[in-house]
Every structure is written in structure tokens, then in C-alpha cells.
Structure 1
Amino acid sequence: MDTKLLRQTFGKFPTGVTVVTWFDDEGINGITVNSFTSVSLDPALALVSIDKRAKSLDQMKGRPFTINILSDSQEATAWQFAGRQQEDLQIEWDETGDSPSLVGSAATIYCKPWKEVDAGDHVLYIGEITNFNRTDKQALTFYEGKMGSVAKYV
């Protein structure tokens, strides 16, 4: 199977862009994730999928985490946490609670670890939602390798 073509095929499905953040032994850490989904309302569960090659895989293991659904003004933040250094990017944090969140996100979902599932070349981190908030900001989307505003699709 041509995995490059399969990746491009997956890219035909527009997704939101999140940055998953947590406190670790060195402070605040995070990773850009577009493999995020709701799992259950009762109990309230959400899932993020992390590549096994990512340094973040072991760093977030067993830690409370925040799913920051980025606003359409946070593209530079998405690239920063995807490993592409953004010059002059100033990140504002809310460090209250068990896990940090990015100020300015469209929504935030706070989770405590619930279950980890081995899934091929990824690990699925399922978190039990402990709190959340949302704003009226437009979400950042990812489609065919490009980021943009969900507003252009509405």
C-alpha cells in the first residue's frame, strides 16, 4: 500500500487543529494534534492520537492534559508545536488547574488520564473530561496539508 497516497487520502477529510498541553518535569509541554475526537458523553471522554515516534508520547504518559482547539488566529502556534520554530511568537498560558491551556483558543477541554490504547504506529490517549470552556472564536482547520479558517467553509 502506498502510505504517502493514503496520507493524502486522509487529508481529504478536513479536521480541526488542536495543541495538547501538559505539565511535565521541565514545565509546560505540548504537541500539535489533528487526530482528536469525542468518545463519550457519559462518562465524558475525548481521544487524541499520538505518533509513537513523537518525543511527546512518553512525556505526556499518565499526566492530565488539555486539548486546546485552536482559533483561526493561532496558526503560528500550531506550527510551533508541530516542530516548526516560529520567530517572535509569544505564547500566553493559563497555568491554573492540573494542566496548562493556551490563551486565545476557540475551546479548551481539560482531561485526566483514563486509558491508553496501542494502535499501530500511534497510541490513543483517552482522557476523562474534568472541565471545558468554549468561545465564539472561529476554529482553525487543516485540509490537504493547509491550515485555514472554518469560516470559509460555513
Structure 2
Amino acid sequence: MDSRELRSCFGRFATGVTVVTYSAEGERYGITVNSFTSVSLDPPLLLVSIDRRAKACGKLEGKPFAVNILAADQRDLAMHFAGRTQDGLDVKWEEGEVASRLGGVLAWIECLPWKSYDGGDHVLYLGEIKNFHYRDGDPLIFYGGKFTSQPLLIEGSA
């Protein structure tokens, strides 16, 4: 199976864009993630999928974390935490009840580690939701390998 073609197929599913934040060795870290989903309301659980090659993968194991859902105007934050440092970007950190998180995001969800699972070339991290907050606004969207904040026009729809 051609992995590039499979990735292109997966890219036809529009997702929101998140930054997963956590602390390790006394420092704050984050990684841009679009593979995020709700899992359960009782108990309240969510899942993030992290590539095994990412530095964050090993550091996140067993640590509290926050999922920060980005707003349409936060593309620079997404790029920054995807490893493309944005010169002059002022990252606003906040200390939460269980994890460091980003200020000014569309929503944040703080989690304690629940379980992690082998997901092939990724690790699936489940978090138990301990605290959350959201506001109105437009989301940053990832589709077809690109960030957008525009509603998606599907051919043939009007």
C-alpha cells in the first residue's frame, strides 16, 4: 500500500487543529495535533494520537496534558508547535489545575493520563478530563494538507 496515497486519502477528512501541551523536566512543551477525538462522557475521556518519531511521544507518557483547540487566527501557533518556529511569536502560557495550557485558544481541556496504547507508528494517549473551557469563535481547520479558516466548499454543493 502506498503510504503517501493513504495519507492523501486521510487528508480528505477535515479536522480541527489542536496543540497538546505538557510539562517535562521543569519546561513547558507543545505539539500540534489534528488526530484528536472525544472518547467517553462517563468517565470523561479523550484521545490524542502522537507519532512515535515526535520528541513529545516519549515525554508525554504518564504526564498530565492539555488539549488546546485553536481558533482561525492562530495558524502561527499551529506552525510553531509543529516545529516551524515563528520569529516574534508571543506564546501566552497559562497554568491550569493539572496542566500548562495556551492562552487565547478557542477551547482547552486539561487531562490526567488514563492509558496509552500501541497504535502502530503512533501512540494513542487517553486522557481523563479534569477541567475544560470554551468560547465562541471560528476554528482553525486542516484539510488536504493545508490550514484554512474558511468554510470548506465541496464540489457540487451550493
Q: If the TM-score is normalised by the length of the shorter chain, which range does it land in?
A: over 0.9
3-state SS, counterpart of residue 59 of structure 1: helix
Instruction: Using the aligned pairs only, state the percent identity.
Output: 52
Residue 104 of structure 1, CA deviation: 1.1
Distance 2:95 2:55 in 1: 22
After TM superposition, the score normalised by the length of structure 2 is 0.93
Contact kept, 8 Å, 2:38 with 2:47, in 1: the verdict is: yes
Partner amino acid for 1:71?
Answer: A
Alignment-derived partner of residue 156 in structure 2: none
Alignment-derived partner of residue 104 in structure 2: 104
Unaligned runs of 5+ in 2: 154-158
Alignment-derived partner of residue 31 in structure 2: 31
Distance 2:151 2:59 in 1: 36
Alignment-derived partner of residue 18 in structure 2: 18
Root-mean-square deviation (Å): 1.2
The 4+ residue runs of structure 1 with deviation greater than 3 A are: none
Pair 1:51-2:51 in alignment: yes
Alignment-derived partner of residue 133 in structure 1: 133
Alignment-derived partner of residue 94 in structure 2: 94
Partner amino acid for 2:151?
Answer: K
Unaligned runs of 5+ in 1: none
Distance 2:26 2:83 in 1: 18
Between Structure 1 and Structure 2, whose CA radius of gyration is higher? 2
Residue 90 of structure 1, CA deviation: 0.7
Distance 2:58 2:19 in 1: 16
Alignment-derived partner of residue 80 in structure 1: 80
After TM superposition, the score normalised by the length of structure 1 is 0.96
Distance 2:76 2:109 in 1: 21
Distance 2:55 2:126 in 1: 18
